[in-house]
Amino acid sequence: MLLVFITLAACFTPIFGKITVSEISPLSLGFFRFGVAAVLFYITLKLRRGNLKFDKKDYPKLIFLAILCIPLNQFFFLNGIKLSYASHSGIIYAMNPVYAYIIAVLRKSEKFYYIKLAAILLTVVGIFFVFYENLTQTQLESNVLTGDILLIFAVLTFSSYLSFGKEIIEKYGALKVQAYVFLLGSALYIPLFIYDLPNLTFVNLTMMGVIGYLFLTVIVAYLAYFVWYYALKTIQLSKLTTLSNLAPILTVIFSVIFLSEKISTYFIIGGIITITGVLIMHRATLELN
């Protein structure tokens, strides 16, 4: 059940994101989403008798993580998903372990392996095929390409958050760090929210939009965090990574079913190549570790 929950949370995030940003302005949605999640994390931390005290030398790192996790990541993800397709988001987000490895190698916290380089090159080729049909000048395709580029930056900021946050999470614990990062990140997001106020309206909000918001906030930003860390302690990593690779495939399938998105031959080819590269990356990581 934990594996099913994690997989469904991941695969439906782009779909509910696409639905919700069509009814609530992306910048305002990001503030409401993580503002509420931050409060939930803080309440949870207090119930577990935790605190938000850190060594002085670690505050710059926490500020950097907060900027990566919320203002930057949410700006790129929510604006990207509005312009692009949920299916594209599913494939692009599958590249998260690839980005994470590249960052780790650059930071010299992981060794370089040629097999992983081959996996990276495969994902690059795959993403090229995903983008191929949008490399024209029509307005619709131009918007989709812009959205895809924003989604790539969303994955990059999220991967950076995971990579740079690893050491500080090991030092203080995930709940404490997450609570502080969400609270500070939401505070840093306020200027974007104020800037977006003229675009904020609930006139077009439907029940599906409300469900989408609750899913993105409570299920993904809050509950999925606890399930993931609990699963890491109780389930083999190989099973977790195998199931996580199903998420982008399910996202594509459900995007066709629920959003009526059209899947081209180039997209299918690109998706298969990208996911193959990610699978090779996962397999190499498990074998080399």
How confident is residue 69, by pLDDT bands cut at 50, 70 and 90?
very high
**pLDDT category, 24, cuts 50, 70, 90?**
very high
Question: Residues 84-91: what's their mean pLDDT?
Answer: 92
Quick one: pLDDT band at residue 1, thresholds 50, 70, 90? confident
| Contact in structure between 226 and 41 (CB atoms under 8 Å) | no
| One-letter-per-residue 3-state SS of the chain | CHHHHHHHHHHHHHHHHHHHHCCCCHHHHHHHHHHHHHHHHHHHHHHCCCCCCCCHHHHHHHHHHHHHHHHHHHHHHHHHHHHCCHHHHHHHHCCHHHHHHHHHHHCCCCCCCHHHHHHHHHHHHHHHHHHHCCCCCCHHHHHHHHHHHHHHHHHHHHHHHHHHHHHHHHHHCHHHHHHHHHHHHHHHHHHHHHHHHHHCCCCCCCHHHHHHHHHHHHHHHHHHHHHHHHHHHHCCHHHHHHHHCHHHHHHHHHHHHHHCCCCCHHHHHHHHHHHHHHHHHHHHHHHHC
119 has pLDDT over 80: yes
- pLDDT tens profile 268-286: 998 899 888 888 887 777 6
Give the least confident one: 127-141, 159-173, 273-287. Answer: 127-141
Distance, CA of 182 to chain centre: 15
Residue-level pLDDT at 249: 87
pLDDT interval class at 110 (50, 70, 90): confident
pLDDT for the residue numbered 232 = 61
pLDDT exceeds cutoff 60 at 185: yes
Q: What is the mean pLDDT of residues 122-126?
A: 88
Q: What is the pLDDT confidence band of residue 142, given thresholds at 50, 70 and 90? A: low
pLDDT band at 239 (very low <50, low <70, confident <90, very high): low
pLDDT category, 147, cuts 50, 70, 90? very high
Whether 243 has a pLDDT exceeding 70, the answer reads: no
The confidence score (pLDDT) of residue 132 equals: 75
54/145: higher pLDDT: 54
* Among 185, 220, 235, 236, CA closest to 75: 185
CB atoms within 10 A of CB 5: 15
In contact, 168 and 65? CB cutoff 8 Å:
yes
Token pair listed for 153? 């930056």
Q: 């994101």: which residue's tokens?
A: 17
